[in-house]
Structure 1
Amino acid sequence: MGRVRDDVPSAAPGGPAEAQVPPVPSGAGIRAGAPLCDAGLVDVAATISPLLGAQPPSTSVGNVMRGVIERH
């Protein structure tokens, strides 16, 4: 985590503070109330790709959150 000033931490996208926030998918094509086991922000691109009818990005390191997608 970087620091704006010596006493104030700042978070960069994908940094440690952000990595601790679990994703909460919702909307069309998402199964309501599905449990998210070991899901993280790295899984978002891989998860929304099938909803858009696309392949996950070739550089994606995440996995599809299969339990939350209704059509997968």
Structure 2
Amino acid sequence: MNRTPDLTAAVWRKSSYSDGGGTNCLEVADGHPGLVPVRDSKVPDGEVLVFGAASWAAFLTHTARG
């Protein structure tokens, strides 16, 4: 099963944890139920990683703990 969504019309938003200086910016695209597409804002035409929503939530939980 191909779980990669069609991202041609994706609306990307920067992480609230990005440094604001344009050097460490992560973007996610909303609107893909159960999936979280992620990319590097400095390379918008580069690779996109797609995580399951549960895996992404676990990642955020662990990173918030430091």
Structure 1 and Structure 2 fold alike (TM over 0.5)? no
- Greater CA radius of gyration, 1 or 2? 1
TM range (shorter): under 0.3
Which is strand-richer, 1 or 2? 2
TM-score, L = length of structure 2: 0.28
Normalised TM-score (structure 1): 0.26
The higher relative CO (CA closer than 8 Å, separation ≥ 6) is in 1
